Amino acid sequence: MGQTATFLIIFEVEERYATAFSASVKSLGDWAILTPTTIMVRTKKSSESVMEQLQSLIGPGDSLWLITPSAPWSGYGDPIACDHVEAALGPESGNWVPKD
């Protein structure tokens, strides 16, 4: 297996494909849901392998983007998701912005 890579998986998937798609993403490795249509995943698979695996589970009108995140980063959302982003990209290079 290769080195661990971190990807943002951004998607819009028809409901009839959603369960299988979600299970497949979660099988890739450590994951965190950042928004209802964005999941960060850390995996030993290549981008090509991940895209091939996931693309086979979506319909022709769906959208799927696989992006490698990098620092600097900033965000607001679930603190648990922030923990995953910090673990992947480093706390010194980011800025989680609490709203309170």
CATH for 39:
3.30.70.240
d(CA 95, CA 93) in angstroms, rounded, equals 7
Q: What contacts 89, CB < 8 A, 6 or more positions away?
A: 6, 69, 70, 71, 73
Domain that holds residue 88: 5-96
pTM of the model: 0.84
Place of tokens 């850390």: 42
- One digit per residue, pLDDT tens: the chain, 100 residues? 569 999 999 999 999 999 999 999 999 999 999 999 999 999 999 999 999 999 999 999 999 999 999 888 888 888 888 888 888 887 776 776 666 6
Element (H, E) at 98: none
Query: Could you give the number of structural domains in the chain?
Result: 1
